[in-house]
Structure 1
């Protein structure tokens, strides 16, 4: 009896599982731009299998790029096979390196496919008395199933992995044929996914019937005249050569000759230090918990020091006074604090680094008070040359910043250099800029020292890269001053009337109840309006509305589907209104009450490192997304009111993105239209539709407006036809005529896309770069999206930069003139000021000057300005 009897081996089809993971998971990239979704999905599937199987041996088989006999046969029949997507191809060598770092055996052999390697190994291991599990997304491997060889086929759906298991009996039950007969089944029915052509006109049902009766294609061919139905008989007779080739293509070699030592596949500890470093680099943070290792020690840690002695703390702080650069951290003591109250945790101390050899974590004690540390840190900000922190705006909750010009926010700098990421932590900067991987299990004081060290050491590298990318001006003159403007806005907050919100919520509830009754009457029965499945049945099965789109889970009731039906079917328009109002009630009318603080104001967070285009976003709560399309939605602005003795002033840029487009494109017609201060949409309608200016109808103006704004977003003829409910040809003609009217715009957009394809990014007027990796995608839809991004990002990004300059200028003027008035809100192209009534003329003057002079364009920047006793009136 073999010594391997009753042992278990897992064999993985490398390329197949990578391919499944690649198409089953959304695209992921690490900070270096490497696509990682296939690697992550592969590892997730592998860990799931290992947890379930607990094997003694493991081997992963890969295809070799050199063509095999079967490849050549298929190519001779149908030309070259579809190439692997570039985003997947770059992940293949990386997964091999990762597996090697985990001590996992991998095999590949020129002239043999991975299927042949797996087939041969599964036979050999079964003969050794082993239990075998073969993991593949390729159903061809079902032919290998026996009583001791199990074929496992994973499926990745919405990030979750499900696995189908097949022994020989399972194959028979599922397909009505034995594993060996499964080869003949594939020969007849074919499989496009596996490049097996099959026999024309013979589908799965007919192929199954033939093989269950005759057991092989050869036997079926001997009785070809007897086959039913007649078309199958004719097809096999005429295409017998194709059936034979298909069987050859489908047959896996189980006696291949290649070197393999089973002992090398013995499974040991796969969670090695080397693998841990790989997982860090790939940014698979949620897989790191599987490791019980200590990351390789970084030499810099030798200079890290924890300080709890007052005299030592004072000495270190004095040494830092004259430094040219200080990296600083304020950390909270979150011990025994529930996550819900983490923001209210007490300050635990500070971190400092002001040379390359040392970093300090100075902790709050009875002698070293919080007040002492914050005062010293504030003075350091005044005295040092460069004061570096991650997320300075957050630190300003505790730390008075005396000298804004000395400040360097490493989070903002990292964001400018790569605006496509989700976060910009000190760990990311340490890894990307300093090549340091920080151990997640490090002691708390070590992490504080690392953050201070990374701020100090990384700032030089970030500064140089900002210079190299010509974004230093953007950083120093726009983004850094904006940090302090946003802090002021967050601290100011906006007053909201809680009781008014409750009344508003009640109003919404009443209208929602009315809509429910009306919808039920029109439907002829009660149902769950919030259930897409039930709604789909009512609309498309019971009421037989046109335009249904059936999905696996039922009929699509997405807004894009219902919007087309709403004008002609009252029940649909009421459903859409119901959806809007229920969201309005839950998110705003009921939700906003929870954000009103003791001072009666809502202090939303304004984020400058979230959007790729440079736009500011608002969270906790999002005050930039308050609905304005329906009147009942707009009414919510009435609950936002100024303090007694104050009035709201709202200033909104007029068509800023179109004006930026006019400037960037240099189109003479568009520039002239703006300089003459004419109705731009009426002018466009007049010129595009070739009718006198005075004869343009409201509908024609509306259509021209849709084209004007659509062009900014790279709209297609399909998109425009959807927006205007017109045919694709008519929409295409609109766009064609638009570009004839404004030829400079077409040239500008084409040149912008060409530049993005060549350089990999687009640039705003103020130097902000927006990478467009989608342009190099192998996927057509992704590339098309990339082209739209390339057209829009310079326009939207420039508009965002102009708004930021205006915000900074307005806030600075209000403070310099010691006015009581304050900037409280920014929503896209709109600024809201809570103006002290006696200061109203001065506030309006400041708004007009700072907003209209924020940038010097070939066309004038104009604003619409209104005042009101609440935000609704001011808007």
Structure 2
């Protein structure tokens, strides 16, 4: 039996997989569907063929063309989708890791390489299987060259096989004649023009009879139908060009080494790492676990001897870097064991072969182990953990500057995912898989080892990307500031909250009755379907927007109707009050602790722009637009002997925009403390400054803040209830007034398109992958992100710097006052009355000098006996 070689048309199969497999992305945000589909097809073929040799051909960069004289014509091919383009270099890396030969050569298309290599191999006596989604390759079929064309049907891959006889049977022509058929009929997908008016059926009949286009042209007057005769004469040059374009070169000048194409075991350690990174879990069983070389777990040791534990802690304290994990352990709890400090394990790693999980017991309780870990943290050069803030109640940190939070570092390096746990970071940074590890000791060891092993490479990456100072000067100190705020919490008057809920409940019942009376019937107001029927079918309200499931009752639909239809206004109010009651009046009560305070969480690894978010509960989303919503702030009160001081940046994002854009007019206005919105209204609406109306100022304010968020003319028209043309004119006038802003926004988007990210004044990077999307809406969204992220991100960085400074100065001066809440541009302080004036001075100094901008940072401050009064 002859030896066999499998040749794979790389771009063709990758493209087929891209469009045949639903979109997939890994935790890095890399699209992987084409790679996944390609590998599935390749594995299927290899399992069937069991070849001795394997080669994958690729076009170099973009597809190259056979003849320069036709380059302009062929150059009209549709460009490759960016989501596919980004997967091309990755599949090549994967194939190289699998020791699979790749052939590519400038000036030659992949099918020219396939044609030449298949011809060489056939002459050497090999059987050849060509895997391609391009039917052009059918011209290469012989008795020993088989063309295999994968097809996806109902989610399954099927393969059509063609030897020369199969081509003749199905297409009525030989493989060589197949070229002439295509020359006549053309191929729009490959930009081969063919002859107008000659389709596949006519082309096949002509070539069946005359065997070639040259012979057909020699008998052109005899061709049927007459239209084919006339068009072949008229477009003969085009037919010849089409034949040249359709012909695969089988004698291309390439050097092919058959020995290099030898197919061995592709399931290498290097390939295993790639499959981990790509998260192709259902393909991992193809790898021999021993072959993967993952011997890390053999170094994991569980320690139960106190003397040995003390030796390990002492070693860990002397190390350059120690990674740590603190975990509960419910698997190994002995009968009748109980200890006030709990039962669990402290795990430390300070080398690949030094990973120790120390289990607590009666002789080494958790208080003892945590005390030892605190000693390590205070001595070791780098103390690394995941989510350090979560453990600051247990681990006493003496030297904050030597702490390294792996989750925070991972967030800075890739802010587009919400997952920065051990599994994700180990896979992305170390190319090891932790998923599926279930026993508590192994999981704890992996977490500690990952924290140890990631610290230095992540530090180097942050330095390379200009973000290390952001990590050390802002994000890491912020960990400790946020911990202090969470510990402090905010006091809530539970009885006042209950009364507020009762008031809302009464108002909701009243509204419900009024709505039923206006509708003339009772129905479930919370049911979109029932509400739609009442409004748009029974009451015949206009402008009903019908969807597949019925009429839409979304807020934007109802808000347009509200001014003319009182029932709709009541429904919107009903919805607002219902949300207030469920989310705040009822929802907040479950978070009130025994100390009468809510200790929410502040998260620094969620928002891609760098903003801090609040959860459990979300105290940054307390309503401000309606009075009844604002009243809930009255239930938040300072403890006895204290008042609230609320400090709020004035127009910080517009001030950041003025600085970043360098627009002279806007900078000067801020320096002169002018009313920015009135000034903008004066310029945009061509009205003297002193004659600007309140409506004009409101509209100008919407434009000012809209520009920061990359607002479109459509968005502005919706916000201001004006025509799109008017909104477009507003924006045009705005950019004429502030040309520096237009230039800055354009440059920012251009930079994002070229580099793939935008950056804040403090070096924070925000990737903008949407700009490379083949989807127009996604690209438009990407442009808005590119405009806004540097502004919002810089503002977020500034208030973080201010928070760190305020908290640090409170401690240095041993003040009892506490910073207890941050709402984006606003800080809330629970200040002891005797410290109030000093607190105000600290707030003003730290907030207004957090950054050195071309415009002044201004802070507005208010005091009160509750949050409502202070705001």
Give the TM-score taking structure 1 as reference length: 0.73
Task: Tell me if the contact between 2:342 and 2:365 (Cα under 8 Å) persists in the aligned partners.
Answer: no
Q: Which of 829, 834, 837 is residue 833 of structure 1 equivalent to?
A: 829
Q: Per-residue deviation at 1:311?
A: 0.7
1:377 is matched with which residue? 373
1:28 is matched with which residue? 25
Deviations 1:57-94, CA, capped at 9 Å, x for gaps: 89999886797999999999886211213441342354
1:257 is matched with which residue? none
2:476 is matched with which residue? 480
CA distance in structure 1 between the aligned counterparts of 2:387 and 2:523, rounded to whole angstroms: 57
Say if 2:486 is the partner of 1:490.
yes
Task: Tell me if the contact between 2:343 and 2:365 (Cα under 8 Å) persists in the aligned partners.
Answer: no
Within 5 Å, which residues of 2 pair with 1:382-781?
382-426=378-422, 428-430=424-426, 433=429, 435-438=430-433, 440=435, 444-496=440-492, 497=494, 499-500=498-499, 502-503=501-502, 506-507=505-506, 509-510=508-509, 513-514=512-513, 517=516, 520=519, 528-529=527-528, 538=536, 543-545=541-543, 553=548, 557=552, 562=557, 565-566=560-561, 570=565, 573-574=568-569, 577=572, 580-581=575-576, 584=579, 588-589=583-584, 592-593=587-588, 595-599=590-594, 600-757=596-753, 759-775=755-771, 781=777
Deviations 1:133-170, CA, capped at 9 Å, x for gaps: x998x9999xxxxxxx9999659xxxxx8569999xxx
RMSD between aligned alpha carbons?
6.1
Structure 1 gap ranges (5+): 3-9, 122-133, 142-148, 156-160, 168-177, 181-185, 211-215, 228-233, 253-266, 338-343
Task: Tell me if the contact between 1:347 and 1:370 (Cα under 8 Å) persists in the aligned partners.
Answer: yes
CA distance in structure 2 between the aligned counterparts of 1:745 and 1:709, rounded to whole angstroms: 13
Within 5 Å, which residues of 2 pair with 1:317-396?
317-335=313-331, 348-354=344-350, 358-396=354-392
Within 5 Å, which residues of 2 pair with 1:81-230?
81-92=77-88, 94-95=90-91, 98=94
Q: Per-residue deviation at 1:618?
A: 1.7
2:214 is matched with which residue? none
Q: Per-residue deviation at 1:833?
A: 2.3
**SS of the counterpart of 2:322?**
strand
Task: Tell me if the contact between 1:152 and 1:163 (Cα under 8 Å) persists in the aligned partners.
Answer: no
CA distance in structure 2 between the aligned counterparts of 1:94 and 1:73, rounded to whole angstroms: 33
Q: Per-residue deviation at 1:648?
A: 3.2
CA distance in structure 2 between the aligned counterparts of 1:554 and 1:248, rounded to whole angstroms: 53
| CA 1:19–1:814: 2 relative to 1, 3 Å | same
CA distance in structure 2 between the aligned counterparts of 1:73 and 1:521, rounded to whole angstroms: 77
Q: Per-residue deviation at 1:696?
A: 0.6
Deviations 1:592-645, CA, capped at 9 Å, x for gaps: 247414324332221112222211112233322344334444444344444455
| CA 1:783–1:835: 2 relative to 1, 3 Å | same
Q: Per-residue deviation at 1:799?
A: 0.8
**SS of the counterpart of 1:37?**
coil
CA distance in structure 2 between the aligned counterparts of 1:665 and 1:647, rounded to whole angstroms: 39
**SS of the counterpart of 1:624?**
helix
| CA 1:466–1:581: 2 relative to 1, 3 Å | same
Deviations 1:744-802, CA, capped at 9 Å, x for gaps: 32333344444445554433222323334445556655554444333322221111111
CA distance in structure 2 between the aligned counterparts of 1:370 and 1:272, rounded to whole angstroms: 42
Task: Tell me if the contact between 1:665 and 1:748 (Cα under 8 Å) persists in the aligned partners.
Answer: yes
Q: Which of 820, 843, 846 is residue 847 of structure 1 equivalent to?
A: 843
Q: Per-residue deviation at 1:374?
A: 0.6
Of 775-784 and 54-63, deviating more is 54-63
Of 695-704 and 276-285, deviating more is 276-285
CA distance in structure 1 between the aligned counterparts of 2:183 and 2:553, rounded to whole angstroms: 41
Q: Per-residue deviation at 1:356?
A: 6.6
Of 744-753 and 653-662, deviating more is 744-753
Q: Per-residue deviation at 1:529?
A: 1.4
Q: Per-residue deviation at 1:276?
A: 3.6
Q: Per-residue deviation at 1:730?
A: 3.0
Q: Per-residue deviation at 1:17?
A: 7.1
Deviations 1:502-561, CA, capped at 9 Å, x for gaps: 4266257436735863785599999941689x679948996551777x6xx367848586
**SS of the counterpart of 1:381?**
helix
**SS of the counterpart of 2:852?**
coil
2:31 is matched with which residue? 37
Query: How many pairs does the alignment contain?
Result: 825
Task: Tell me if the contact between 2:9 and 2:57 (Cα under 8 Å) persists in the aligned partners.
Answer: yes
**SS of the counterpart of 2:621?**
coil
Q: Per-residue deviation at 1:393?
A: 0.4
Task: Tell me if the contact between 1:351 and 1:452 (Cα under 8 Å) persists in the aligned partners.
Answer: yes
Q: Per-residue deviation at 1:313?
A: 0.6
